[in-house]
Amino acid sequence: MTVNTNSATDAIATCMNWQTINWEACVMEVRKLQLRIARWEKLGNRRKVKALQWLLTHSFSAKCLAVKRVSQNRGHRSAGIDGIVMTSPKDKWDMLQSLKRRGYKSLPLKRVYILKSDGKQRRPLGLPCMKDRVMQALYTMALLPISEMKADWNSYGFRPERGTADAIEQLFIGLATKRASSWVLEGDIKSCFDLISHEWILDNIPMDKKILSQWLKSGFVESGKLFPTNHGTPQGGLASPTLANMVLDGIEDLIGRKFGSFKLDGDYSKQRKNPILFVRYADDFVVIGRTSEVLEHEVKPMIQSFLKERGLELSETKTKITQIHDGFDFLGQNIRKYRMRNGTEKLLIKPSKANIKTFLTSIRKIIRSARSMSQTELIRLLNPKIRGWAYYHRSVVSSEIFSAVDKEIWKALWKWSVRRHPNKGKRWIKSKYFHRIELRDWIFRAKIKEHGITVTDTLFFANNIAIIRHTKIKQQATPFDPAYERYFQERTSQKWRNNKSGKLKVMALWKRQRGICPVCLEKVTKLSNWVVYWHKNKLEGGSDRLDNLSLLHPKCARGNKPKFVIPHRSSQ
């Protein structure tokens, strides 16, 4: 039997090629090109932007990052209609070599369905094949800087450095004061991703029209049959969120030019008698005005006309006008202004009843289905879900709700424990599954031995999460503008204060510097406060590694550079 040594050698060489890629250099090169695209887009030089887009989509670094992103995201094991997935370094390298514009042909989407949040209706998704996903990731890198430069200031969905907490905080700013408007238009766009006009996208989205047309007209396969796609963007493709944002951007500007705006500066910064606040997250938006008549007869028709040009329309059942004292739900949270006993009014934002019900239903379903599961396995399954839900709601009025949720989870776990031992007494069951830790009793806890070491798993309590007010991002800030580089560094530093992994990194910096600020040579303490300083900015290719960071006093970080960097103790 003979062995083909040449093919084995080629496979090893291919693996080495993928594993020896300099990822920091790739990120730096792509970042520089994106900043140049954003700069020329801001200046209005379309010819220069188009040339830089071509340069980015044909660069080796961008192709590497596109393959890496697709091969590491949540859906990397879900194949398209061709059944191909990227699992080995050889697969990734082969995909990298095949990324060429010439001869590229998009394959039809694989139609799958997922349940909506209500657990009853199903949402259709179109899964592209791996090569189409990589091509979308590649061309989205060149489109994202343009999208950021054109984006509405109060658009927070599917944008870098922004999230739901920013949208909720913006609503709090616009509704909490005494003189704030009290009428709310809750908007929902009917089947947004499925009905967007292809003609409008091809005429207005600044990217390679041939590639864009391939994505839009690829069709989808369901039950072995091919169906055409005459409108909409594939909800499941990597480019869809950016495309949808660019389609909807402009509503805030349209409203602001007529009614005034809450923007800080610009052509229409002066607030008029009836200013309008517009906040959007993906295809859900909220408009706040002084009277219901203005929202119903002036603002709503303007939005309908804007959407009609793009082949979209408002959902009549989900679009409604509400008084702020009645409250409304947005992004899983309830926003309502309460009348207090002393005659004042207070705006409170809490997790919505529907969101709490959906969360507890999913937790109970997991517990009921875990009849044969060990206590340790159940704890490890529940903890990420409880922790994620609690962190999502940690910036609003959630303390009492966290306690109530913990109580409901305890009830479900007690039923689970009793069902497992029908012939045992309650005291025996309590001693087996629930334990005392310091002054707290009835804690769901398990101990097992793994590799000869005793490991303790404890159920996570939502009420252990401290309520911390979120600091909203500046409306006009974008990571593609060099003027906001220091601003985003300060936000990262602030996030690390409230993040477990960030606190560990800060502690490592503090120990490395022996608690001394490298600028003023004074002690860094909680009382003196601190910020993280990047020696080399991310725009220049810097990273979050410890050798690029220092811990400084806030005053020392303003326009100063450290006099020295204390090396690691191991290097002394």
DSSP states of 441-485: EEEEEEEEEETTEEEEEEPPPGGGSPP----PPPTT--TT-GGGH
pLDDT of res. 356: 96
Residues 458, 407 share a domain: yes
Cα-Cα-Cα-Cα dihedral sign, residues 119, 120, 123, 127: positive
403 within some domain: yes
Asked whether the predicted pLDDT for residue 538 surpasses 80, the reply is no
Average pLDDT for 537-554 = 78
Amino acid 295 reads: L
Q: What percent of the chain has pLDDT over 90?
A: 51
More confident residue, 1 or 318: 318
Mind listing the pLDDT tens digit for each residue in 123-144? 778 889 999 999 999 999 999 9
Residue 460 belongs to what domain range?
353-464
Asked whether the predicted pLDDT for residue 563 surpasses 60, the reply is no
What string of DSSP letters covers 314-370?
A: B-TTT-EEEETTT-EEETTEEEEEEEPTTS-EEEEEEE-HHHHHHHHHHHHHHHHT-
Q: pLDDT band at residue 571, thresholds of 50, 70 and 90?
A: very low
DSSP H or E run through 278: strand 277-281
Residues 487, 447 share a domain: no
C-alpha span between 356 and 516 (Å, rounded): 46
Amino acid 135 reads: M
Average pLDDT for 538-566 = 71
The tokens describing 351, both together, are 């997790």
Residues 392, 439 share a domain: yes
3-class secondary structure, 56: helix
Of 259-263, 355-359, 424-428, the poorest mean pLDDT is in 259-263
Average pLDDT for 196-204 = 93
Closest Cα to residue 269, out of 259, 279, 283?
Answer: 259
Residues 550, 488 share a domain: yes
Asked whether the predicted pLDDT for residue 387 surpasses 90, the reply is yes
Asked whether the predicted pLDDT for residue 453 surpasses 90, the reply is no
Q: Quote the DSSP letter at residue 567.
A: P
Q: Quote the DSSP letter at residue 79.
A: -
Mind listing the pLDDT tens digit for each residue in 415-432? 999 999 999 999 999 999
Residues 487, 424 share a domain: no
| Backbone Cα Rg of the chain | 27
Boundary residue ending a domain (429, 464, 499) = 464
Amino acid 351 reads: P
Q: What is the mean pLDDT of the chain?
A: 86
3-class secondary structure, 77: coil
Residues 549, 510 share a domain: yes
Asked whether the predicted pLDDT for residue 565 surpasses 60, the reply is no
Average pLDDT for 468-487 = 90
Distances 329 to 299, 416, 471 between C-alpha atoms, Å: 20, 33, 21
Amino acid 217 reads: K
pLDDT of res. 9: 53
368 within some domain: yes
User: Is residue 196 within 8 Å of 244, Cβ to Cβ?
Assistant: yes
pLDDT of res. 222: 85
Closest Cα to residue 395, out of 349, 357, 359, 352?
Answer: 349
Residues 437, 515 share a domain: no
Closest Cα to residue 186, out of 289, 46, 65?
Answer: 289
pLDDT of res. 269: 47
Residues 460, 494 share a domain: no
413 within some domain: yes
27 within some domain: no
Asked whether the predicted pLDDT for residue 7 surpasses 60, the reply is no
More confident residue, 265 or 23: 23
pLDDT of res. 229: 86
pLDDT of res. 569: 37
User: Is residue 237 within 8 Å of 194, Cβ to Cβ?
Assistant: no
Residues 493, 452 share a domain: no
Residues 499, 436 share a domain: no
pLDDT of res. 16: 62
Amino acid 357 reads: K
Average pLDDT for 98-119 = 83
User: Is residue 244 within 8 Å of 201, Cβ to Cβ?
Assistant: no
User: Can you give the length of the chain in residues?
Assistant: 572
Structural domains in the chain (count): 2
Per the rule left: phi > 0, alpha: psi between -120 and 50, beta: everything else, 34 is alpha
Boundary residue ending a domain (402, 435, 464) = 464
Boundary residue ending a domain (464, 495, 527) = 464
**Angle at the Cα of 253 from the Cα atoms of 247 and 255, rounded to 5 degrees:** 110
Asked whether the predicted pLDDT for residue 322 surpasses 60, the reply is yes
Q: What percent of the chain has pLDDT over 70?
A: 90
**Angle at the Cα of 326 from the Cα atoms of 322 and 331, rounded to 5 degrees:** 70
72 within some domain: no
Asked whether the predicted pLDDT for residue 561 surpasses 60, the reply is no
Distances 472 to 171, 193, 363, 465 between C-alpha atoms, Å: 11, 28, 31, 20
Residues 421, 496 share a domain: no
166 within some domain: no
6 within some domain: no
pLDDT of res. 266: 46
Closest Cα to residue 238, out of 130, 117, 122?
Answer: 130
Q: pLDDT band at residue 451, thresholds of 50, 70 and 90?
A: confident
Q: What's the distance, CA 90 to chain centroid?
A: 30
3-class secondary structure, 304: helix
C-alpha span between 148 and 144 (Å, rounded): 6
The tokens describing 469, both together, are 């007010």
Of 201-205, 237-241, 377-381, the poorest mean pLDDT is in 237-241
More confident residue, 149 or 507: 149
- 178-207 as b/e: b if 16+ CB within 10 A: eebbbbbbbbebbbbbbbbbbeebeeebbb
Asked whether the predicted pLDDT for residue 263 surpasses 60, the reply is no
C-alpha span between 203 and 310 (Å, rounded): 11
Residue 510 backbone phi and psi in degrees, to 5? -65, -40
Asked whether the predicted pLDDT for residue 61 surpasses 90, the reply is yes
Cβ-based neighbours of 96, under 8 Å, separated by 6 or more: 18, 63, 64, 67
84 within some domain: no
Residues 451, 487 share a domain: no
Walk across the sheet containing 320-323 and list its strands: 277-281, 284-289, 183-188, 320-323
User: Is residue 139 within 8 Å of 55, Cβ to Cβ?
Assistant: no
Q: Which residue in this structure is represented by tokens 């766009």?
A: 189
pLDDT of res. 316: 86
More confident residue, 148 or 194: 148
